[in-house]
Chains A and B, each alone.
Chain A
Amino acid sequence: MEFADILHRCFRCGYCKFPNNYQDFNCPSYSKFRFETYSPGGRMWLLRAWLNGEMKTSPRLAEILFSCATCGNCVEHCVFPKFKDDILHAFLAAREEMVNRGTVPPAVRDYLKALQIHGNPYKLPASERGNWEHGLNLESYSGQEYLFHAGCVGSLDERGMKMARSVAGLLKGLGVSFGVLGADENCDGNEARSLGEKGVFQSLVEQNIREFQKRDVKKVMTLSPHAYHAFKNDYPKDSHPFEVFHYTQVLAMQAKKLSALPAHSPLRVTYHDPCYLGRHNKEYQAPRKVLKSISGLQLMEMGRVKENAFCCGGGGGNFFTDLLGSGPESPARARVREAVDTGASVLAVACPNCAKMLEDAVKAENLEGKIAVKEISEIIQEKA
Chain B
Amino acid sequence: MEDIYKELTQIVGAAYVSNQPEERFIYSRDPGTMEPREPDYVVLPATTDEVQKIVLLANRKKVPLVPMGGGLVLSGLSRALKGGIVLDLKRMNRILEVNERSRYALVEAGTSQGMLQAYLKKNYPTLKHSVPDSPPMATIGGNVLIHGSGHLSHAAGFHSEMLNGLEVVLPTGEVVKIGSCSTSPYWFGRAPLPDLAGLFLGWFGTTGVVTKLAIKLYPNRPYQDVGVFVTEDPELVPEVFYQATGVQVAEDITAWMTPKPDWAKGFQHININYAADTPEELIWKRNLIRASLKRLIGQKVGGFLPLPPPMKKNFLEAPQTTLAQFADVRKGGGFEYVGGIMPIDLFPRAYRAGIEIAARQGTTYSTGARIIGLAHCMMFFFAYPFNRADESDVDRARRALEETNRAVLNMGGIPWKAEAPAQKQIIGRMDPHTLGLITRVRSMLDPQGIMNPGNWEVR
Interface residues of A (CB under 8 A from B): 8-15, 17-18, 21-24, 33-37, 42, 45-46, 49, 54-56, 58, 60-61, 64, 79-81, 83, 303, 327
Complex CA–CA separation, A13 to B325 (angstroms): 11
Q: For chain B residues 98-114, which have a beta carbon within 8 Å of chain A?
A: 112-114
Chain B residues near A46 (CB, 8 Å)?
Answer: 22, 25-26
* Chain B residues with CB under 8 A of A21: 118, 121
CB distance from A301 to the nearest CB of B (A): 13
Interface pairs A-B: 8 shortest CB-CB = A22-B114, A14-B137, A23-B118, A8-B389, A13-B135, A22-B136, A9-B333, A79-B324
- A18 contacts B16, C-beta separation under 8 Å: no
Instruction: Produce 1/0 per residue, B116-152, CB < 8 A to A.
Output: 0111011000000000000111000000000000000
Question: Within 8 Å CB of B321, what residues of A?
Answer: 15, 79
Q: Are the CB atoms of A23 and B26 closer together than 8 Å?
A: no
Quote the shortest CB–CB distance from B52 to chain A (angstroms): 20
Residues of A within 8 A of B119 (CB): 23
Complex interface: chain A residues within 8 A of B169 (CB): none
Whether B387 sits at the interface, judged by CB under 8 Å, is: yes
> B115–A23 contact, CB under 8 A?
yes
Known: A34-B91, A55-B21. A11 touches B327 (CB 8 A): yes
In this complex, what residue of B is CB-closest to A30? Answer: B90
Q: How far is the CA of A10 from the CA of B72 in the complex (A)?
A: 13
B136 touches A18 (CB 8 A): yes
Query: Can you name 8 A-B pairs with beta carbons within 8 Å?
Result: A9-B332, A11-B333, A13-B324, A35-B88, A36-B26, A46-B26, A79-B324, A303-B122
- Shortest Cβ gap from A317 to chain B (Å): 20
Chain A residue nearest in CB terms to B86: A36
By beta carbon, the residue of chain A nearest B31 is A11
Task: Establish whether residues A42 and B20, one from each chain, have CB atoms under 8 Å apart when the complex forms.
Answer: no
B324, A22: Cβ atoms under 8 Å?
Answer: no
Contacts of A327 in B (CB 8 A): 15
The answer to whether B115 touches A35, judged by C-beta atoms less than 8 angstroms apart, is no
A35 to B18, CA, bound (A): 9
Q: How far is the CA of A327 from the CA of B44 in the complex (A)?
A: 16
How far apart are the CA atoms of A107 and B414 in the complex, in Å? 54
Task: Choose among B21, B23, B30, B327 the residue that contacts A56 (Cβ–Cβ < 8 A).
Answer: B21
Contact between A45 and B114 (Cβ–Cβ < 8 Å)? no
State whether the Cβ of B345 lies closer than 8 Å to any Cβ in chain A. Answer: no
The answer, yes or no, to whether B388 is at the interface (CB within 8 Å) is yes
Tell me whether A80 and B328 are in contact (CB under 8 A).
Answer: yes
A42 neighbours in B (Cβ, 8 Å): 26
Contact of A55 with B22 at beta-carbon distance under 8 Å, contacts A8-B388, A11-B334 already known: yes
Q: Which residue of A lies closest to B90 (CB)?
A: A34
- Bound complex: CA of A83 vs CA of B331, how far in Å? 9
Interchain CA distance A49-B335 in the complex, whole Å: 19
- Chain B minimum-CB-distance residue to A10: B333
CB distance from B455 to the nearest CB of A (A): 21
